[in-house]
Copies of this chain bind each other. A is one copy, B any other.
Amino acid sequence: MTDDLTSNPLADDKLREECGIFGIWGKPQASAFAALGLHALQHRGQEAAGIVTYDGEQFHIERREGLVGDIFSVGGPVENLVGAAAIGHVRYSTTGGSLRRNIQPFFADVADGGIAVAHNGNLTNAIALRQRLVRNGSIFYSTSDTECIVHLVATSPAGRIVDRLVDALKQVEGAYSLVALTRKKLIGVRDPLGVRPLVLGKLDGCFVLASETCALDIIDAEYVRDVKPGEMVVISDEGLQSYQPFPPQRPRFCVFEYIYFARPDSLIDGLSVYDVRKAIGAELAREAAVSADVVVPVPDSGVPAAIGYAEAARLPFELGIIRNHYVGRTFIEPADHIRHLGVKLKHNANRGQLKGKRVILVDDSIVRGTTSKKIIKMVRDAGAAEVHMRIASPPMTDSCFYGVDTPEKKNLLAANYTVDEMCRLIGADSLNFVSINGLYRAMRQQKRETATTRYCDACLTGDYPTPLTDRDGESQGQLSLLAQA
């Protein structure tokens, strides 16, 4: 395991959610609401954003790299995105795929009119589908799996555009929550397993779709309910209709949405994300108690679990590490300076709270372990007497193929080392992960049982709920012969 020698703050040791989606129907200036909703979903993707609107005659599109607030602020392109219907997308791209032409939503003129699609998730048979579509004459303009869905819609023999979309989705495997916009409808769908979230809200009588409830809050929309796994909601001027086009399946919602991805003020499937995280911290305190002076979160994601831990352990909670929220890009590491400043771009020790103390550090997860090692060193350099690391998730042993950018298994620390070995590698005095059953208890389940779990925890258990056609398939070749200039 080699160290990370750059000071790229984006190179911290976190998973990356790939997308957030939003849709609204029947509301004048729909793009302004979409921009606000996407701003609230920005934590799900910071690389690029896009909005498509329909004004009754034409669709309008804007897709750019950057933050929502930079792209869609006053005076910007949002003013040209006219119309009372909109869908939007924020995106974090996987390595190597940060092509501008991959920015969503995608749009196509199909026989029946236009359709725009924005997608959160990942298809596990996208390459196989793409090969078949290209053989039949479809021309792909991106390397995104989402474009498969659009071509399946375009080439579907079905008549109405909704039927074409169902026809398309029946051919795909994997995880998807998606919103689609046609001239007459706003459509929201979750895959049969419901791996990714999607909620339904209402604003002044108009329906809203969003990845998380925090995107409803920002526009003062009322939360109605979660879209159900396998459900398709079709919103038009006639109101909302709900369909169940797929055979019923046991749902498998992603546990990492609770652990790390979702915003703490969001409510998923009736549970407060903040509460679940605090409960994980409390479970950890019970499972892995240790004599200490202070509980310190690795901010920001470790904060709720640390509050829960401190409360359960009756220890003081202190901000022993301060986070710098001004995002830097990759700074130059001065050549004679091999101290790996990277971590310090985001975090600094708050010495007064660490010096001479036995510190319990709480973080949400360990992926490669690089950041943990640096943070523990920083805390020790600040004078901590002991450093006990507590992780608010079970060990991550497997890659995700459902829309999260995970390293390959060989780069996951927990896939290659025992907890004792990891403890030594990161330099802690002790290291504990919450148990898988502790995690389930925090989610108000009794324990995990493979046969009945309603969550996707494949990254923690290797129990993948869908086929992985592309991963298990033949060598895949190049997605496109066209390189990015």
Are A214 and B150 in contact (CB-based, < 8 A)? Answer: no
Tell me which residues from 123 to 144 in chain A have a Cβ below 8 Å from any Cβ of chain B: 134-141
Contacts of A60 in B (CB 8 A): 482-483, 485
> For the complex, is A451 an interface residue (Cβ under 8 Å from B)?
no
Assess the B77–A485 pair: CB atoms within 8 A.
yes
Q: Provide the residues of chain B in CB contact with A80, threshold 8 Å.
A: 485
Least CB separation from A482: chain B residue: B59
The answer to whether B141 touches A138, judged by C-beta atoms less than 8 angstroms apart, is no
User: What's the Cα separation between A59 and B327 when bound, in Å?
Assistant: 28
Least CB distance from A283 to B in Å reads 18
With a cutoff of 8 Å between Cβ atoms, the chain B residues found around residue A81 in the complex are: 485
B residues near A275, Cβ cutoff 8 Å: 352
Chain A, 97-143, CB within 8 A of any chain B CB? 107-111, 113-114, 134-141
- Which residue of chain B has the shortest Cβ distance to A69 in the bound complex? B328
Minimum distance in angstroms from A375 CB to a CB of chain B: 14
A154, closest chain B residue (CB)? B137
Identical copies of this chain, number: 4
The stretch of A34-42, A190-198, A236-244, A388-396 that contacts the partner chain: A34-42
Given contacts A39-B326, A485-B62, contact A73 B331 (CB under 8 A): yes
Residues of B within 8 A of A214 (CB): 322, 348
For the complex, what is the distance from the CA of A353 to the CA of B326, rounded to whole Å? 28
Give A99 Cβ to nearest chain B Cβ, in Å: 11
In Å, the complex CA distance between A336 and B205 comes to: 13
In the bound complex, residues from chain B placing their C-beta under 8 Å from that of A140 are: 109
Contact A304 B331 (CB under 8 A): no
Task: Please count how many residues in chain A sit with their CB below 8 Å of the partner chain's CB atoms.
Answer: 105
Q: What are some 28 contacts across the A-B interface (CB < 8 A)? A: A33-B334, A35-B331, A36-B344, A39-B324, A43-B326, A46-B326, A59-B481, A59-B483, A62-B485, A74-B330, A77-B485, A107-B482, A109-B139, A109-B481, A111-B137, A137-B151, A138-B139, A218-B345, A219-B337, A220-B339, A220-B341, A264-B322, A267-B351, A272-B351, A274-B319, A274-B350, A274-B353, A300-B325
Contact residues of A with B, CB < 8 Å? 7, 9, 27-29, 32-33, 35-36, 39-40, 42-43, 46, 58-62, 67-70, 72-74, 77-81, 107-111, 113-114, 134-141, 150-151, 154-156, 183, 204, 214, 217-220, 263-265, 267, 272, 274-275, 300, 303-304, 307, 311, 316-319, 322, 324-337, 339, 341, 344-345, 348-353, 478, 480-483, 485
Q: Closest 3 CB pairs between A and B?
A: A69-B328, A137-B155, A114-B481
Apart from A70-B329, A81-B485, A218-B344, list 11 A-B contacts with CB within 8 A: A39-B326, A42-B324, A42-B326, A46-B326, A58-B481, A73-B328, A137-B155, A217-B344, A307-B317, A307-B319, A311-B316
